[in-house]
């Protein structure tokens, strides 16, 4: 049995989009990203080959809200060699092997001396953990527990060829201009090294969503922010403090490619339009999903939703933060994410933008009694459709609640009808002269 593949706004199949997003994940995966440095720049350079990016470089020492832009970290090589010269731990094999922001090291050590700088996962002995030390000058290696168990007493040659020096924090922005200067912000972090779900799947979905929106003549202006986690979002907010009131809706994307069901974390406001739009899309689509309340922990939604800004920004993931065994380990590789899951996340984001774009208030121009729809050709024009009854009900709901106070999203929620059906009914009624915006 075959089924039709749904078509995107650009005429491409979801299957094609999924494959291309996965290919982008695979291309970005080997890069050693951090909150600063050349790996981050190279990541943004590759993304800019998909969508144009405006790159910002913020110097070390710049005050950003309560934080300071740190020194820039770069690494060329790192290893632990045994007496025979074999690399027991090798940065070239996996960039997760080095604790992020490790200072330079060149020493000979016994295993006992080295052990305090080694990090493993005893309960997951075949996986390499991901560890960082951004704001405390130290160093370390991450390795499989099985590798550590096989290591002898030493001595070992220990080398980390890195630099920690004044430089810049880098982030990128892509803007899809709309008819309004009011903005929808889509944000994802680009600071993790070889982790496919957290964070590359979100980067790939955001990139493809931007390409779709560019062909849709949007009402809102859509701003995509690709920035290192925490310090990047804080830096962006600090540099845009006077214009954040333009942000009317927002989503933080992360963990966008695993096989789990979708999870939406509400904004701090809890009932912002973005919260209602995502909840409605998830409910009406029939997708398995979870909606959770805001908490000040997780991804960069906590920066956008900090009380001084309190922006209407929620977070969309599949399996949420720390909710899967491969999280922050070498198990989060390109095989862990799938084209199908990324395509489903993308489609969900697209449907949310359709709600935001189409949500309007209308006024019934024939509010005394039910207007006769048949003589206006509104019933006849729907003949033969499989959803004729649903569309007729949508017209009745739109007419009844178009009092200048209810939005189409209000009507969709109250009627338990899909937003697209309600919006289509409103357009038909408007065309018949029964509604005005």
174 is in an annotated binding site: no
**Coarse DSSP helix, strand, coil percentages of the chain, rounded to the nearest 5 percent:** 35, 25, 40
- Rounded to a whole number, what is the distance in angstroms from the first to the last CA of the chain? 45
Residue whose token pair is 């799938």: 338
Handedness of CA 133, 136, 137, 139 (dihedral sign): negative
Q: How many CB atoms lie within 10 A of CB 259?
A: 13
Prior bond of 155 cis (ω within 30°): yes
The Cα-based distances of 29 to 74, 200, 254 in angstroms read 17, 7, 15
Distance CA 196, CA 192 (A): 9
Distance CA 75, CA 37 (A): 9
- What the block records as the tokens of 357 is 């774009």
**Contact (Cβ atoms closer than 8 angstroms) between residue 344 and residue 263:** no
168 is in an annotated binding site: no
328 is in an annotated binding site: yes
Distance CA 201, CA 17 (A): 13
**Contact (Cβ atoms closer than 8 angstroms) between residue 190 and residue 227:** yes
Please report how the helices 339-358 and 14-28 are oriented relative to each other, as an axis angle in degrees rounded to 10.
110
Please report how the helices 388-401 and 419-431 are oriented relative to each other, as an axis angle in degrees rounded to 10.
70
Distance CA 371, CA 354 (A): 28
Residue ranges for the binding site? 192, 198, 328
Residue ranges for the binding site for Zn(2+)? 192, 198, 328
């Amino acid at each position: 049995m075959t089924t039709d593949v749904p078509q995107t706004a650009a005429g491409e199949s979801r299957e094609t989009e999924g494959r291309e997003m996965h290919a982008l994940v695979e291309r970005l995966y080997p890069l050693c990203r951090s909150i600063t440095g050349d790996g981050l720049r190279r990541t943004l350079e590759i993304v800019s080959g998909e969508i144009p990016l405006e790159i910002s470089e913020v110097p070390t020492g710049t005050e950003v809200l309560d934080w300071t832009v740190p020194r820039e970290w770069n690494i060329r090589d790192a290893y632990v060699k045994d007496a025979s010269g074999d690399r027991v731990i090798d940065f070239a094999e996996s960039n997760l092997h080095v604790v992020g922001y490790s200072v330079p090291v060149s020493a000979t050590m016994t295993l006992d001396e080295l052990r305090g700088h080694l990090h493993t996962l005893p309960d997951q002995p075949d996986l390499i953990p991901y560890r960082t030390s951004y704001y405390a000058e130290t160093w370390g290696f991450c390795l499989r527990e099985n590798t550590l168990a096989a290591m002898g007493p030493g001595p070992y040659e220990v080398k980390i060829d890195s630099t920690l020096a004044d430089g810049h924090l880098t982030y990128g922005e892509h803007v899809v201009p709309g008819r309004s200067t009011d903005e929808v912000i889509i944000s994802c972090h680009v600071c993790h090294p070889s982790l496919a779900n957290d964070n590359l799947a979100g980067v790939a979905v955001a990139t493809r969503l931007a390409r779709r929106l560019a062909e849709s003549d949007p009402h809102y202006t859509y701003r995509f922010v690709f920035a290192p986690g925490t310090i990047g979002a804080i830096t962006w907010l600090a540099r845009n403090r006077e214009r954040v009131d333009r942000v009317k809706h927002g989503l933080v994307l992360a963990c966008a490619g695993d096989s789990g069901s979708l999870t939406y974390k509400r904004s701090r406001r809890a009932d912002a339009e973005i919260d209602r739009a995502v909840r409605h899309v998830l409910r009406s689509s029939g997708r398995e999903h979870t909606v959770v309340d805001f908490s000040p922990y997780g991804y960069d939604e906590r920066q956008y939703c900090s009380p001084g800004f309190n922006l209407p920004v929620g977070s969309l993931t599949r399996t949420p933060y720390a909710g899967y065994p491969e999280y922050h380990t070498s198990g989060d590789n390109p095989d862990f994410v799938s084209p199908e899951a990324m395509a489903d996340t993308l489609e969900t984001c697209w449907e949310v933008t359709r709600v935001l774009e189409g949500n309007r208030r209308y006024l019934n121009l024939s509010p005394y009694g039910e207007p006769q729809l048949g003589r206006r050709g509104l019933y006849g024009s729907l003949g033969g459709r499989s959803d004729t009854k649903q569309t007729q009900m949508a017209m009745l709901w739109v007419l009844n609640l178009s009092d200048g106070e209810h939005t189409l999203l209000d009507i969709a929620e109250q009627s338990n009808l899909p937003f697209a059906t309600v919006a289509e009914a409103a357009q038909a009624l408007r065309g018949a002269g029964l509604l005005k915006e």
